[in-house]
A = this chain, B = another copy of it.
Amino acid sequence: MKAEILTILKDTDGYVSGQELCERFGVSRTAVWKAMNQLKKEGYEIESVQNKGYHLVKTPDILSKNELVSIRKTKWVGTEICYFDVTDSTNTQAKSLGEGDAPNGTLVVAGKQESGRGRRGRSFESPAGTGIFMTLLLRPEIEPQNASMLTLVSALAVAKGIEHMVDLPVQIKWPNDIVINGKKVCGILTEMSAQMDYVNYIVIGIGINVGNEEFPEEIKDVATSIYLESGKHVNRAMLIEKIWEEFEDYYELYEKTQDLSSLVKEYDSYLVNRGQKVRVLDSKEPYEGKAMGITDRGELIVDTWEARRLVAAGEVSVRGVYGYV
């Protein structure tokens, strides 16, 4: 009921009558009053005026299941939401749900991660109250070899989602980092459980630096937050909602062809090093070339003076020759 009351409060400009809420949910005035008090305790500023009813003055930056449910407009992402104030890692939780029978679209969100992981098991800083840590569980009807492109689909959704909230030049560092003004603001870790020809499930983990006011010395040249770049305190729940709304649209295009043919243009428009010199840190021999964009399969096209080369996502690390990105 609390999430539904929240939705009604948010959708109403003026006052919501207590009597109406009683009738709608078939509960007593005391029950409504109690729910309002709980919401106030959680941090919502709710004004109650005799003979008029309740009014939501302000929604602070609250991350909770109720908050996420109350603003959800997505079609299938987040029909199930698992929220943790603190968890080890949302990917770990989502994989465990994947081994069970959690449905496609289940969303795991945490206020804080205690052992967040980046690619190849690198640790990932996850302080409380400042970031978004979430993982989407998918059970897609796709072939395992097409799964890695989902990371690029997700990167697009995050970039577009952030643009909804702040007026900043959001870019993608191929394949799966989101950067603002040359510094990383988001990382994405896609993991898959698969049989030879069959995907058991996929989890897409997304970590975003939202409200961080500073970073440790050793990473502050390469990491940033939305707050640091924009000076704005962005509502995390709303950003989450925007990202998954965008994701659903992009995913639909991806799903039709099981490749990125419909998304190449848009992805390329976000590509941070496009048209610039990059160094590809191949496992054999590093080389330099100009990053031209991506292919339908999500490979990075790099033109060297000898030939056009296609870089498969993740095989290598790509660096701008000038600066970090």
- The count of chain A contact residues (Cβ–Cβ below 8 Å) is 27
Are B313 and A196 closer than 8 Å at their CB atoms?
yes
Give the dominant DSSP class at A's interface.
mixed
Are A145 and B143 closer than 8 Å at their CB atoms?
no
Are B95 and A197 closer than 8 Å at their CB atoms?
no
Chain B: CB-nearest residue to A200:
B191
Are B197 and A143 closer than 8 Å at their CB atoms?
no
Q: Known: A143-B315, A192-B192, A315-B143. Is A148-B95 also a contact (CB below 8 A)?
A: no
Q: How far is the CB of A280 from chain B (nearest CB, A)?
A: 14
CB under 8 Å from chain B, chain A span 294-317: 312-315
Chain B: CB-nearest residue to A143:
B315
**A120 at interface, CB cutoff 8 A:** yes
Q: Known: A95-B99, A144-B144. Is A119-B190 also a contact (CB below 8 A)?
A: no
**A198 at interface, CB cutoff 8 A:** yes
Are A193 and B195 closer than 8 Å at their CB atoms?
no
**A189 at interface, CB cutoff 8 A:** yes
> With the chains together, A325 CA to B106 CA distance in Å?
40
**A111 at interface, CB cutoff 8 A:** no
Are B95 and A198 closer than 8 Å at their CB atoms?
no
**A126 at interface, CB cutoff 8 A:** no
**A113 at interface, CB cutoff 8 A:** no
Complex interface: chain B residues within 8 A of A191 (CB): 193-195, 200
Q: Known: A95-B99, A143-B315. Is A148-B197 also a contact (CB below 8 A)?
A: yes
Are B143 and A195 closer than 8 Å at their CB atoms?
no
Chain B: CB-nearest residue to A197:
B314
Q: Known: A95-B99, A99-B95, A192-B192. Is A197-B144 also a contact (CB below 8 A)?
A: no
**A151 at interface, CB cutoff 8 A:** yes
Q: How far is the CB of A109 from chain B (nearest CB, A)?
A: 21
> With the chains together, A4 CA to B140 CA distance in Å?
49
Interface bits A166-191 vs B (CB < 8 Å: 1, else 0): 00000000011000000000000111
Are A315 and B197 closer than 8 Å at their CB atoms?
yes
Complex interface: chain B residues within 8 A of A189 (CB): 195
Interface bits A141-152 vs B (CB < 8 Å: 1, else 0): 001110010010
Are A190 and B198 closer than 8 Å at their CB atoms?
no
> With the chains together, A315 CA to B196 CA distance in Å?
9
Chain B: CB-nearest residue to A316:
B197
Complex interface: chain B residues within 8 A of A175 (CB): 196
Are B194 and A192 closer than 8 Å at their CB atoms?
yes
Ranked 7 nearest A-B pairs via Cβ: A197-B314, A196-B314, A148-B196, A193-B193, A192-B194, A196-B313, A191-B195
